[in-house]
Amino acid sequence: MGFSFLAMSIAAASLAPWVPSRKKDVLRALQLASPKKGDVIYDLGCGTGTVVLLAAKLYPIKAIGIEMAFPLYLICKIRSLFYNKKAGAIKFINKNLFKSDLSDADIVYVFGMPSVLSKRLRPKLETELKPGTKIVSYVFPIEGWDPEDVDWLKDRNPIYLYIKK
Ligand SMILES: C[S@@+](CC[C@H](N)C(=O)[O-])C[C@H]1O[C@@H](n2cnc3c(N)ncnc32)[C@H](O)[C@@H]1O
């Protein structure tokens, strides 16, 4: 009973299981988003923090990772100890992304399951993000939105760019 309740709670809160974005594709995603100085970028479900660490290393921005799974969050924190503080700012938060305030985002990066993207995340982003916020979705489109741009590369995963109206 206790276990099935726990499993159901995790499933209900889940964006996707942990599968990391490929580093080469993160570079493509960042180019697509073209962050400007001072931008705030979120990785929703940041796994082991690769997107956050790379984004802040390459751009003068603030990169924030939200991760629900504590062991993955711990890895992010350990990796951040080795991060060069002279580059952009980084922050990791151990929290359910669906209970997190994203209203200060300029860019949102997400790698989630298609049904969760369209049914749960899209309504949250529609009500919470400010107009002009860029949403970058790795591999899967967000149904119900028209992409502003799509990075298609042969034999690689597609990356979708949306702009909040
Ligand atoms: C497909 S992985 C993507 C990891 C990372 N963003 C990347 O691209 O390399 C999805 C991540 O989201 C996390 N996650 C799932 N549901 C979540 C939620 N509700 N709140 C925060 N993190 C969540 C998982 O633990 C997992 O690390």
Mean pLDDT rounded to a whole number for the chain: 93
Which ligand 1 atom sits nearest the alpha carbon of residue 96?
Answer: 20
Task: Report the pocket of ligand 1 as residue ranges, CB < 6 Å.
Answer: 13-16, 18-21, 43, 45-47, 50-51, 66-69, 72, 96-98, 111
Check if the beta carbon of residue 27 is closer than 8 Å to that of residue 93. no
E runs forming strands in the chain: 40-44, 62-67, 89-94, 107-110, 134-138, 149-151, 159-163
Percentage of residues in the chain having pLDDT higher than 90: 89
76-109 pLDDT tens trace: 999 999 998 778 999 999 999 999 999 999 999 9
Using the mean position of ligand 1's atoms as its centre, give its distance from the Cα of residue 67 in Å: 6
Which ligand 1 atom sits nearest the alpha carbon of residue 65?
Answer: 6
Which domains occur in the chain, in start order?
A: 2-163 (3.40.50.150)
Binning pLDDT at 50, 70 and 90, where does residue 1 land? very low
